[in-house]
Structure 1
Amino acid sequence: LVDLYGPLRKSLRELVEHIYRGLTAFGGGEQAAFAAGRGVTVFDRFEQVLETVLDTVVEQERRLGLMNLFWLAHSRSVAEVLHEFFSQQGTKLDIKYQMHPFLRSVHRNALDRVWARFKHRNGNALRQNLGADFNTAFIDCIVDDQLPFTETGLARVNFQHILVDNNKRFRLNFSEFREIQGAFRDRLRETLRRRDPRAIDMFHRWLPDLRPDGYEEERSTVRLLFNPHVVTYLLADFAGAPLGRLGSPATRAERPGSRRLGDLVLDYMDLLHAVRRSEVVDLARQTVELVGHLQPERELRSRYDEGRLFRFHPQEEILKLARKITVVFADVRGFTAASERGISERELAQHLYEVFDPFASLVARHHGRIDKFTGDGAMITFGFSRVTPQDELNALRTALAIQDMMARLRASGRTQFSMGISVHTGRAQVAHFIVDERTMDRTVIGRNVNIAGRLSSSGKLQGLTLEKDADDAGRPADGERSRRDVWVDEQGVLFNAGIVVSQDTVEEIVRQRAAEPWTRGKAHGYRLFDDEREKNILLEYVGDAKFKGVGRSIAIYRLGLDETGSNSDASSQVRA
C-alpha cells in the first residue's frame, strides 16, 4: 500500500494540461517550437516537487527497494492521470502519445540532478545507499519506454492508438507495424505447418507455458510474435526465402525514402523489447495499491504504524521502522559447561548444528524470522516485515515447538542440552546496517530487544547454571511441579530453564481476546485453546522479576500446555 505526495500528482495534472494545450495549439507537428518556450514555471514546478520526493527516497533507501517501489507507484499514478485526462469528452487521444519527449525530460531531469547530488555526497552516498548491484534498468524502462506512463495495464494494448504520427518514442507507424507483423505471422504459420522440430523445440524453450499443439491459437500466436527470440529466429529464416509482404508496393509507398527495410525491422524489434520490458513493470505494478483520497485517515495511520503503508512524502519517514515487534530468544543451557570440559571446538559446533539446524523450518512454519544466531543462542522476530494480529500467538507456538524438538533430541540421545526461551513484545526499531557495498545486516534494536534477551538468559544462581550443578536451595518446593523450570525468587530474580512470557506479550494476547483468565488451585494466569495442537495453552503467572537498569518490575508467566486432557469445554473457550 503506497501513499504518494499529493502535490506531485497535482503538479503532474497541471503539466499534462499545459502540454496538451501546447501540442493542440501547434497542431501536434510543431513540438520543437513548443519545447523552446514551454512554460518554464509549469515544467520546473513539477521537477522541483519530484526532486524533493526523490531526495527523501535516496536518503532513506538503505537497499530496502524504496526507489523501485516509488517508481512503480508513481508510474501508475502518471498512467491514471493521463487516462483520466484523455477520458474527457473532446480530448484528442493521439496527443497522449505525442507527450513522451516532455514527460521523459521532466522525469529524467529531476532524476539526474538527484543522482548527481548524492554521488558527490559523503564519498558517493548514492552507491552506498542503493548498493553496488543496484540496476537502473527498471527505472530506465519506466522513464524511457513510454508505455508504463501511458498504459494503466498491458493486458489489452491498442497499437493503432500508440503508433501515431509524431510519436517520438516509436518510429514505426501503424501501417508499417501491421505489414511487418503480417510478414512474420506468415512465416510463423509456414514454420508451424512444416512442424519444423528445431523451431518447435526452441519455441517451447522460450515460452514453456504454451502448449505446442496450441501455437496456432490466436492468443498463443500473438505471444510468439511478441517474443524477441522467436522473431529473431523468423527473421533469420527470411535469408533464404522471399520477403513476401515486407516488400509489397503498399509498404514501400508508405515508407519514407530514407527508411530502409533494415531500419523498419530494427524499429519493430525496439517496439517488441519495449513491450516486453513494460510487461515486467506492469506485472510488478499489479502488487502496488495506491491510497485513495476517501480512505479513512485512522485506518491509514494504523497501517503505517504496523509497517504496512509506504508514505512517499518529502522529509518524512517513508516506512515506519519503529513498530511493535515480538522477540523470541532461545538460549542453550549447558553449552558453557560443556565447552569447559575439554570438548573440541568441532564437536561443540556439531552439537549446536544438531540443535539449531531444525530451527529454520520451525520458525518458517509459524511465520517468524531468524534474526541471528549468537553462538549458543538464537534470536527470532515476529513483525519484522509487517505486524499481524497473529504475531504473539505465533511466537508462543514457535517456543513450544522448539521445546518439543529439544525433548525429542534428548530422548534420542542426540543432545544433552536444554533450552531457556523468552517471549517479549514491545516497540523496537527495525535497523538496516550497511556492511559493505553488497551486504546488509538487518535486525531489530532497542530496549525491548535487550529485555527479551535478559529474560531468556536468566538462570544463574551464584555463578552456576540451572542444570546438575545448580543449587537446589533456590528452587520451589517439589510439589510446585508446574513452576520447576521457571520461577521468580523473593528478591525478584528470575530463573528460566523453560519458556518465559512477559506481561507485555500476555497483555497483547488478552487485548485481542485470544485468552481468558484461568485458575487451578494456587496457580493462576490465562489460557487459550490452540487449534493447531488441539490443546489449551497455559500462561501461568510466577511472579514479578526485577532487572538492573530496568525501571519497572516485569510480571513473568510460564508458558506450557494443559496436559490434564480436560478439554471438554474447549468449544466454549477462546480459540486461537
Structure 2
Amino acid sequence: MHKFSQFDLKLNIGRLPLIYSLGDLTSIREIFTPEDEDVGRTQLPILPPTSGIISLNDEEIEGYLVETSSPLMFTIREFLQGLDSLMEWKQQSGDRQHSDVAENFAALRRDCMNRLGARLVDVIKQERRLGLYNLFWLTISKYLIGLLDRVIAHRTGKQTKRKLEMLPLITQTFLDAIQQVKRYLQKEDAQQRHYSRYIDEMMLSHLGAAFNYEFSRSVITDQIHVMFPQLSRTNLMECAQQVFQQGNEKYHLGYDDFVNIYSGIRTYIDKRLRSKDPMFCEMAANVMKIPSRNVLNIPVEAILFHPGVISIFAEEIRQLPVKSPTRKKLLFKSSMPQLGDLFAEGTWEFALADYLNFAKDLRRSEIITTLRNRLAFFTPSHQSSSHASSAAESAATGIADRISYRFEKGRIIQDLRNVTLIFLDLRGFTELSAGDITDQVLKQYLYKFFDPVVNIINHFNGVIKTYAGDGILASFGNSKYHVLQAIRASIEVKKFFTLLKNEHKIPFTGMGIGIHTGLVEETYFFSDLESPNLNTVIGLSANLVGRLSSGKTEKKIQIEPHSLKELRDYLEAHDPALSAGSGALAIFEDRLQHVVQAIQSQKNQTASEQAEYQKLSVKVLSGVLNNHGIALSNDTFAHLHAIQQLHEQQVAGTVHYTFFDSVLQEELVLIKAGDATFKGLKGKFPVWGIYAHSEFA
C-alpha cells in the first residue's frame, strides 16, 4: 500500500490522502488488526506489487488495470435481481407462503456462490503472497456497487432502505462462498498429503501464515463503503443519514441521536485543540502513536473518529453540557442537561458503542474506497494478444507493456511484457573464493560494490530480481524508455567499477554487463510460511542476458606442426603398411598439410581481428563473445533505435551509431561486435557494444 502514499510535509510522514484516519502504514495496520490480536504481529494488508498507470477523473495515477469479467458480472447481477424480487415478495406476502420466487433466488444464490468460489480457488492457487486475494474482493466490491445501483434504480425514494435490507444476505452469500472454497481446498490438501505428510495447507502456504484477512472481511461486511462509495469531508452527515435508518440491523442509534453525540464530541475536541490543551494533545498523541506536535496538524476528523481517543475521554464527553437538546426534557435531571442525559438510563454506553462502531466502519471504508478507486476496468479487444506474439508485435501494440489482472479461468496476472534486463557479472570472483582471501573479506568487497550499484539501478527505475554470488539481474520496465534507463544505469555502474578498480578498492579483475530487451515471465517462490515471496524472472530473455555478460573466450584445439610429425612417426612405427614410399602415407601427409595451413590461416585472421578490436571491451571472435564492458542484444538495439534518433558514422571502415543522452549529458557510441553463438541456444545472435565517447579519447 505504500506505493499509493504521498509525503505529507506538515506531518513529515508518508500517508494515504485520508480524512478520517491518519493514513500512514502504522495506522492502517492498526485499523485492520482484529481486536483480539497484537498490532505488532499483524501483517499490513497487501495488494499486488505490480501495478501500472490508470486514468482517474482525467488524471493519470498509479493503480490496477482489471479486465471486466462479463460472466462474473452477469452472475452477480442475476443474484441481486433475484434478491430484490425476494425482498419485494416477502413484503407483499408477509413471508407466509411458498413461492417460485424463493426457489429461483436459492438457485441464483447457489450459482453466484459456485462462480465466486471457482474464481476464488484460482486466485488462491495463483496468490503467491502477492495480494491477489485482496484485489479480487476489491474487484467484486466495485462490481457490486455498480450493479446494485442498477438493480434497485426503479425503486425511487426507497433505494437506501432496499440496500440496507439486501446487504446482510449479500454479505452472508459471500462469506458462505469463502467457506465453500475452504472445504474444497481442504480436500485437495488431503490428496496432496498422499505424496508427503509434510505438505502445508494451500491457503496457509500461498497466502502466508501472517496474511491479514481483516481487510477482505471488511470489504465484504462493512456497510459504509457500499452505501456511500465516495466519502469526503463535506458529505459525512449525508453518509450518516443513510446508515442510521430504522431497520438497519447493524446500528440501534437513530440519526438524531448520532448528530447529538457527534456534535458533543466535536465541540469537546475543538475546544481542546483551540486551547492547545497539553494534556489532551499528549494523550491523543500517545494513542495515535504520533509526536504531540502533530496533533494540531492532522485533520480534526482523524481525532473525532479515532476509537481509542474517544474511549479514553468517554466520561468527559458524557458529561458535556447540552444547550439545545433535541430529546424530551423529561429525561433531564437538571436545568443544564449533560450529553448522557439525552439517552434513557443505562443506554449511553450502547449509544457510544454504536458511534464507535460507525467510526471503525468509516475509517475502514475510507481506506477501502481509496484503494478501490485505484482499480480501472477495461474490456479486452478481440485482437490476439497471445503469449506467442513476438516481442516486436507486443512492443508495437503496447499490449505486453500494460500489466493487467483477469479474474476468469486461467492466468490471473497478465504481466508477460517487454522489459529490459541487465545482468552484471564480476570477473575473478571464483579465483578469489578459492584463493587466500577469507570469505569475510570477500563479503565486504561485494558490499562495497553491490550496495552503491543497487542505488544506481534504483535511481534509473530498475528492480533487482536476483543476486547470484558475483552477479546481479535487474529489470527495467515501468516506462516507455526502459531501454534507455537500463543503458544509463549500466554506463554509470561501469564508471563506478572503473573508479574503484583504479583506486585499488576492489580485487575483481573485470566486469561484464549484458543488456537484453524481450518478454519475461515473473516467478514467485516461498522461503517459509511467513516471509514475502522471492521474485525473479525466467524465460529466454533471462537466459540470453546472462550469456551476453560472458567474458570467457572458448579456445579451440589447434594442432602444431611438431605434433603432426610426432603423429607421423608414431604411425610408421606401429603400422608397417604405412612405409615412407606408400601412397596411403603420402595422402595422409597431404591432408595433414592442408590442416596445418588452415589452422595457420585461422590464427593469422584471429590475430588481425584482435588487433582491430583491441580497444573495444566487447568483442565477438569466431562466434565467441568476450565481454568486458557493456554488450547489447540486437533486440535492445532495435528498441533503442525506435525511440532514439541514432547518427550513423563511418570510422576506420566500421559503422558507429551515436546519440547524445540528455540525462547523462554524454555522447554514447554503439558498435556492432559481431554474431555470437551460445551453447544450448540455436542460431546466431548479433551483439553490440555500447561505450561512452570519452572511452575513445
Fold shared, TM-score > 0.5 on shorter chain: yes
Structure 2 letter corresponding to 1:394: Q
Structure 2 letter corresponding to 1:429: E
SS in 2 for 1:357: helix
Q: 2:641 aligns with which of 499, 510, 529?
A: 510
Larger Cα-atom Rg: 2
Deviations 1:450-472 (A, max 9, x none): 22212212324549xxxxxxx99
Q: Distance in 1 between matches of 2:329 and 2:163?
A: 28
| C-alpha contact 2:423 2:472 (8 A) present in aligned 1 | yes
Q: 2:499 aligns with which of 403, 408, 416?
A: 408
Q: Tell me how many residue pairs correspond in the alignment.
A: 548
Q: 2:180 aligns with which of 101, 113, 116?
A: 113
Structure 1 residues 512 and 297: CA distance shift in structure 2, 3 A: farther
2:411 matches 1:317 = yes
- The aligned counterpart of 1:378 is 472
- The aligned counterpart of 2:76 is 12
Deviations 1:291-347 (A, max 9, x none): 2x5x7555998666335111111x221113443332211111223343454222222
Q: Distance in 1 between matches of 2:276 and 2:93?
A: 48
2:691 matches 1:560 = yes
* Cα drift, residue 479 of structure 1: 5.8
Structure 1 residues 553 and 20: CA distance shift in structure 2, 3 A: same
Q: Distance in 2 between matches of 1:433 and 1:564?
A: 41
Structure 1 residues 346 and 296: CA distance shift in structure 2, 3 A: same
Q: Which runs of 5+ in 1 are unaligned?
A: 464-470, 567-576
| C-alpha contact 2:404 2:415 (8 A) present in aligned 1 | no
Q: Distance in 2 between matches of 1:250 and 1:121?
A: 65
TM alignment of 1:36-55, pairs within 5 A = 39-55=105-121
Q: Distance in 1 between matches of 2:227 and 2:649?
A: 61
Q: 2:316 aligns with which of 226, 229, 237?
A: 237
Q: Distance in 1 between matches of 2:398 and 2:186?
A: 34
Structure 2 letter corresponding to 1:371: K
SS in 2 for 1:533: coil
TM alignment of 1:183-202, pairs within 5 A = 183-189=264-270, 191-192=272-273, 195-202=276-283
| C-alpha contact 1:23 1:30 (8 A) present in aligned 2 | no
Q: 1:261 aligns with which of 330, 341, 348?
A: 348
- Which deviates the most, 197-206 or 274-283? 197-206
SS in 1 for 2:188: coil
SS in 2 for 1:153: coil
Structure 2 letter corresponding to 1:200: C
Structure 2 letter corresponding to 1:134: F
Q: Distance in 2 between matches of 1:262 and 1:242?
A: 17
Q: Distance in 2 between matches of 1:168 and 1:267?
A: 11
* Cα drift, residue 393 of structure 1: 1.7
2:575 matches 1:484 = no
- The aligned counterpart of 2:527 is 435
| C-alpha contact 1:487 1:543 (8 A) present in aligned 2 | yes
- The aligned counterpart of 1:171 is 252
Deviations 1:128-170 (A, max 9, x none): 1111111100011111112233332222342112221111233
| C-alpha contact 2:554 2:624 (8 A) present in aligned 1 | no
* Cα drift, residue 90 of structure 1: 2.3
* Cα drift, residue 367 of structure 1: 1.0
Structure 1 residues 81 and 303: CA distance shift in structure 2, 3 A: farther
- The aligned counterpart of 2:548 is 455
Report percent identity of matched pairs: 25
Deviations 1:63-86 (A, max 9, x none): 111111111122122122233445
2:626 matches 1:495 = yes
TM alignment of 1:215-294, pairs within 5 A = 220-238=299-317, 248-249=327-328, 260-291=347-378, 293=379
How large is the RMSD of aligned CA atoms in angstroms? 3.6
Q: Distance in 1 between matches of 2:467 and 2:300?
A: 53
* Cα drift, residue 535 of structure 1: 2.7
| TM, length-normalised to structure 1 | 0.84
| C-alpha contact 2:282 2:292 (8 A) present in aligned 1 | no
Structure 1 letter corresponding to 2:148: L
SS in 2 for 1:415: coil
- The aligned counterpart of 2:210 is 133
* Cα drift, residue 57 of structure 1: 0.9
* Cα drift, residue 520 of structure 1: 2.4
- The aligned counterpart of 1:357 is 451
Q: Distance in 2 between matches of 1:300 and 1:547?
A: 30
Q: Distance in 1 between matches of 2:330 and 2:691?
A: 80
Deviations 1:540-561 (A, max 9, x none): 1111111222110111111112
| C-alpha contact 1:145 1:169 (8 A) present in aligned 2 | no
* Cα drift, residue 116 of structure 1: 2.8
Structure 1 residues 221 and 367: CA distance shift in structure 2, 3 A: closer
| C-alpha contact 1:188 1:234 (8 A) present in aligned 2 | no
- The aligned counterpart of 1:571 is none
Structure 1 residues 557 and 565: CA distance shift in structure 2, 3 A: closer
SS in 2 for 1:166: coil
| C-alpha contact 2:402 2:417 (8 A) present in aligned 1 | yes
| C-alpha contact 2:241 2:255 (8 A) present in aligned 1 | yes
Structure 2 letter corresponding to 1:485: S
Q: Distance in 2 between matches of 1:165 and 1:456?
A: 71
- The aligned counterpart of 2:425 is 331
2:438 matches 1:344 = yes
Structure 1 residues 113 and 531: CA distance shift in structure 2, 3 A: same
* Cα drift, residue 257 of structure 1: 8.2
* Cα drift, residue 127 of structure 1: 0.8
TM alignment of 1:52-201, pairs within 5 A = 52-88=118-154, 90=156, 92-93=158-159, 94-122=161-189, 123-155=200-232, 156-157=235-236, 158=238, 159-189=240-270, 191-192=272-273, 195-201=276-282
Q: Distance in 1 between matches of 2:431 and 2:274?
A: 77
